[in-house]
Structure 1
Amino acid sequence: MGRHSLPDEYRAGVADPRPRTRRRNVAIATVLVLTVAAGTAVAVRGGLLSFGGSCQDNAVHLEVAASPDMAPALRATADHARKNNITSDGRCLDVTVTARESYKFTDALRSGKTSDVQVWVPDSDVWVQRVSADSAATGVTNAGNVAYSPVGVAVVPSAAKTLGWPEKTYTWTELAGATMTSDRLKLGAADPTRSASGLLALTQLSTAAARTKGGDTQAAAMAKALSQRTSDSDSQVLDTLPRDSSGTEQGNPKRNQALILSEQAAFAHNASADSGDGLDLFYPKDGSPQLDYPFTLVDEPRLSTDQSRAALRFMTLLGESEPQKILQKHGFRTDAATASDALVTKAGGRSPQPYVQASAEPASAKALQETLGMWTITVQSARITTVVDASASMTEPVPGTDQSRMDVTKASLLQALATFTPEDEIGLWKFSTKLDGDKDYRVLVPTERLGDRKGTGTQRDRLSAAFSALEPVPAGATGLYDTTLAAYRAAISSYVKGKFNALVVLTDGVNQDPGSISRSSLVAQLQKLTDPERPVPLIAIAVGPDADKEEVDQIAKATGGSGHQVNDPSQIHSVILKAIVEAGSQS
């Protein structure tokens, strides 16, 4: 199951009428002017290029990869261009559109291989930013957005009626809660690691839940329930709907009565000949995230001037009257701020569902990354031993706060703990020097299932208490090397198949135990212990300015893990989740 690094932000598109959007697209176009050919974008927008008239014999060819939902509309637009002799610099546009799953094309670009595609239109800027964040990937340039589609919850009519559709409106958490409390209403979704719709909705759910008391636990519970009913792709999730008119398909517990879907997907399903009564669509009242279909140039410096101009011409063509009608005919919104009542009705929406209200605020890169991390440890239950530096330097204050490094570290670890489910196995060691005889470490809480109960409390209770009780050892030094080797040996020997096994080591300094093994010996022994059939990546986090990022990275990579630097210990929570995603993507 692939995990991926995540976007910084969403960029608005050419069809969005808001002033900030227009300014941003002018900026994007200016970049294209400078990098493609001087004057190209200005000429396109100013109408100076030859867009009509007779074509020359040597048409300019473009290969376009598009998400499966968008590909038919782009093919129809390409046919429109051919039939109407649409030209760029007097040359006909010859555009071939191939449907490619966005996550698969993202992985292909991240591999760094040369692509035979000049333009890519995924369903969300999520994918573009994943590629852009990878320094080894083939370069991509977002030139604007061609369409939009909000994400909601589509429900079979019988179940929608019991929920009070369309008069009754729900928040995301209320809708998810309704599906968790009823055996007759199961909610399905596409895998958030492979679906922008699934990821955006899950992030919306998690963000909304986080605002409530015990929200992290609630979000993890929702993700756990959803993980039992996910499909590999948006198209496959539609196959999980009941096949009978009652919407229950008695005796088949695998069928879903509700799905997280884009408006366009619901539109296309309802328009199909065999869709029966179709689906009713709920638009959550706390806002629907949107798919935004970015028009993206692939490896733009490699494109010829003719290809660059033709690509820009095709993009502007998509904003013209006839192609806009084509997009709408296929169930897409052509303006981010408005909705067609006819389109919404065909997608299963009805008033007073809040389908015309502003979309939800785009999720931050941090929120998306943390959602993927939570999903990873929810779907594939984790077994993680956390090893925390308790040397005297952890008493140092964190700049800008009245707390020590240890205080902030404890708070961040408690926040991380809340994202794990009862099925996850978590343990805690602390280390300094000579904490247990000649040993630099001490096992505070053995690594066990969080839901297991001993006496009056659970493993989660014991860990919470142990995290809260962590204190630096007066005059204690940093016994990093011996501790890391001992903890890794323990993690390898207690490996549990079917779980995400990992070792997390947090240190705010370099090794200070003169009697320990050397770094080179530690790396060599870690490499010898590592078993591809029983992977246990080491996630090493250097906390504060005194820690050595290069050292922890070298040690961690010996196990297939990763090293990270955080100057602010409050970042530990998000770094752990990010590292889990990165480690999982390598397995």
Structure 2
Amino acid sequence: MAIVAVVCMAIAAVLATSVYALSAITSCSGGVTTLDAAVAPELAPAVSAVAADFNGADHRAGGKCVRVTVRAAGPAGVTALLSGQIPRGSGVRLPDVWVPDSSLWLRLLAKPPRLAGGPLARSPLVAAVPAARATRTPGSWKDLLGAAEPGERSSRAVGLVLPDPARTGAGLAALLVAREREGDAAFAAFARSVRESTAPDATRAFGALAGSSARPEPVLAVPEQAVWEHDRREPSEPVQAVYPRDGTLSLDYPVAILDDRPGARLFEHALRGGTAREHLRSAGFRDPAGRAPAAFGRTPGLTAARPAVLADPEPALVRRTAQEWARLTLGSRMLSVIDVSGSMAQPVPGTRLTRLQAIAQASQEGLALQPDDTELGQWIFSTRLDGDRDWRRTVPMGPLGGRVGSVTRRQRILSALAALRPKPDGATGLYDTVLAAVRYMRRTYRPEMVNTVLLFTDGRNDDPGGPSLDRTVAALRAGREATRPVQIIVIGFGPDVDTAELRRLADATGGSVYTARVPQDIMRIFGEATARRLCAPSC
């Protein structure tokens, strides 16, 4: 199922961006060789102009006239073809000449095609904001990422908006900048946060600026050329490029000849000629050395100076970061299981909160970090909460943005958390609750999501009527399937937690155990648990 979904998405990425631009063709005797050139969409107008000139010059190779057709093609689709994600016979063809927006796509491939010469053009990644906000926008990636960091409400001054990293070189470059500056937990939180604000491409990212009163204030991570293209249309509110002083990555538009047919080298040579260079400058691209078009010197919002550059990332880092993004942006499906036994009424030292209130408060804050498409359900447990059963469902599973009666599920969960009360005479029916929760998640498994049981408890099992630890662990292992993983993430709160017992339960599902002493620990644990996606299921 997952493989089919990936293939379908890859085919869609090709078809959705395969808008053909047919160049002028003159008469020709002796037969014709037609070359198919797939280029980054923002480059297509300039390359089409070069192809029109090329076709009009009646170039010949192998005794035939050479003609070129140019089509705008998203780089992710061609990358999927080259990697084999789109199988042969799918109806999607490989181009003869490929000009993606970035050589980062070639670093994703185990066997990248050979490049023909160096970059065709450059466009550095910048932070784009309305001109009125430029002076108060952080001037370095370090400060910008810090201001956009989720979970720290006092410092989250901006909301970073990326073109989709799975479809654009600009988005992938922005991820790489963040990856090299952030640890696993911080990067995981960053990726989960910006997932909500990604745009299909750089052009559509500018739509995020339409609501000037949006909070936090949006800042776009887009190529410089996109700012040029946006402002030349004379919008009501021009945008300014902020060039990070700690350096940035650039889109470099490499040329790859995927089928060295007669005439392919001739067209590649034309792409590097003086006329082609003028077409590219007129479209807002820098030359391969980073020199800006002369118009930049007199264009508000842009600068002709060459920005500071960051070192090109190694292929292994590019592949790892792309894989991490794919994992981190999978939808989440979580069953939150909260201990309401009598011991949860005990106070937390140094606070005015009980253990249950501290967990509820931290859960409310963690809920704010989850997007509306996260599927969440809530159970509580102690002993004999529902007849002889030790657990009770308080909120049914479903998307946070979905409706439960007259309110959203997010609102229902917030209300349920606020209403939690310990059962004064309740013990901890841990083992049978864990088994029931994992079995429910396995029975209702969603392969396109990360399926997790999130367990909060302050103690150990003390229900003599339930199964033993050994029987519980054996049952968890017996139902475990590598292709349908459901992990238990345990957050043990307080001094009475039996971590050895909890670890055996979590290990049986490939999960993990965290312990918290103060409420602030729980928010840190949420971040660490999210970061487990970077290594799952092998961690």
- So what's the TM-score if we normalise by structure 1? 0.51
Q: Indicate how the Cα distance of structure 1 residues 208 and 347 shifts in structure 2: closer, same or farther if over 3 A, else same.
A: farther
Q: Is the 8 A contact 1:206 1:371 kept in 2?
A: no
Number of the residue aligned with 2:136: 162
SS of 1:231's partner is coil
Counterpart of 1:358 in structure 2 is 309
Q: What amino acid is aligned across from residue 136 of structure 2 in structure 1?
A: T
Query: What do the CA deviations read for 1:231-269 (whole angstroms, capped 9, x no partner)?
Result: 223332233331xxxxx544xx49964211011211211
Q: Aligned pair 1:536/2:496, yes or no?
A: no
Q: How far apart, CA to CA, are the structure 2 residues paired with 1:229 and 1:218? A: 17
Correspondence for 2:266 among 313, 316, 320: 313
Q: Which has the higher contact order (CA 8 A, sep 6+)?
A: 1
Shift in CA distance, 254/61, structure 1 to aligned 2, threshold 3 Å: farther
Q: How far apart are the structure 1 equivalents of 2:77 and 2:300? A: 27
Give SS of 1:228's match: helix
2:534 counterpart of 1:577:
yes
Corresponding residue number in structure 1 for 2:88: 113
For the pair 1:297 / 2:257, whether they are aligned, the reply is: yes
1:111 aligns to what SS in structure 2? Answer: coil
| Aligned equivalents of 1:143, 1:363: Cα separation in 2 | 20
Partner of 2:222: 261
1:294 is paired with a residue whose SS is coil
Cα distance in 1 for partners of 2:290, 2:306 equals 10
Q: Say if 1:488 and 1:184 are closer, same or farther in 2 by CA, change over 3 A.
A: closer
Query: Which of 139, 143, 157 is the matching residue for 1:174?
Result: 143
Once superposed, what is the RMSD of the aligned Cα atoms? 5.1
Q: CA deviation at 1:81?
A: 0.8
Does structure 2 retain, via aligned residues, the 8 Å contact 1:151–1:290?
yes
Distance 1:223 1:76 in 2: 38
Structure 1 residues 267 and 379: CA distance shift in structure 2, 3 A: farther
The Cα offsets for residues 296-323 of structure 1, whole Å up to 9 and x where unpaired, read as 233x3xxxxxx62311111111111111
Q: In structure 2, what is the Cα distance between the partners aligned to 1:113 and 1:173?
A: 43
What does residue range 389-428 of structure 1 map to in structure 2 within 5 Å?
A: none
Distance (whole Å) between structure 1 residues aligned to residue 49 and residue 190 of structure 2: 40
Gaps of 5+ in 2: 8-26, 336-367, 376-413, 415-434, 454-473, 488-509, 511-529
Structure-2 separation of matches of 1:133 and 1:486: 43
Q: Pairwise mapping of residues 93-492 of structure 1 onto structure 2 (< 5 A)?
A: 93-109=66-82, 110-113=85-88, 115=93, 117-130=95-108, 132-133=109-110, 140-144=113-117, 145-163=119-137, 170-179=139-148, 185-210=158-183, 216-242=184-210, 248-250=211-213, 253=214, 257-272=218-233, 274-298=234-258, 300=259, 308-340=261-293, 342-343=295-296, 346=299, 348-350=301-303, 355-366=306-317, 368-370=319-321, 372-373=323-324, 376-377=327-328, 380-381=331-332, 492=442
Deviation of 1:371 after TM superposition, in Å, equals 5.8
3-state SS of 2:256 partner: strand
| Secondary structure at 1:335 match in 2 | coil
**C-alpha distance in structure 2 between counterparts of 1:537 and 1:91, whole Å:** 61
2:37 to 64, 81, 94: 64
Indicate yes or no: 2:46 matched with 1:73: yes
Q: Deviation of residue 271 (structure 1)?
A: 1.9
Instruction: Assess if the C-alpha contact under 8 Å between 2:129 and 2:240 holds in 1.
Output: yes
Offset, 1:204: 0.5
Change in 2 beyond 3 A, CA 1:350/1:331: closer
Paired with 1:497 and 1:268, the residues of 2 have a C-alpha distance of: 40
* Equivalent residues of 2:158, 2:216 under 8 A apart: no
Maintained 8 Å contact 1:153/1:281? yes
Report the Cα distance in structure 2 between the residues aligned to 1:119 and 1:575, rounded to whole angstroms.
Answer: 40
- 2:450 maps to a residue whose letter is F
Q: Which digits, 9 at most, give the CA deviation of each residue in 1:196-235, with x for residues without a partner?
A: 211211220221234xxxxx43333333332221122333
Offset, 1:161? 3.5
The question of whether the paired residues in 2 share the 8 Å contact of 1:86 and 1:93 is answered with yes
SS at match of 2:139: coil
Taking a change above 3 Å as real, the CA distance of residues 363 and 197 of structure 1, as seen in their structure-2 partners, is: farther
Query: What residue in structure 2 maps to residue 481 of structure 1?
Result: none
Unpaired runs of 5+ residues, structure 1, are 5-53, 164-168, 211-215, 243-247, 301-306, 385-420, 426-451, 453-484, 504-516, 539-555, 557-572, 583-587
How far has the Cα of 1:63 moved from its partner?
Answer: 1.0
Q: Which amino acid aligns with 1:283?
A: Y
- Please state whether the residue corresponding to 1:96 is helix, strand or coil: strand
Q: Hey, what's the Cα distance between the residues in 2 that align with 1:341 and 1:364? A: 34
State the identity %. Answer: 26
1:23 aligns with none
- Supply the AA of the counterpart residue of 2:295: A
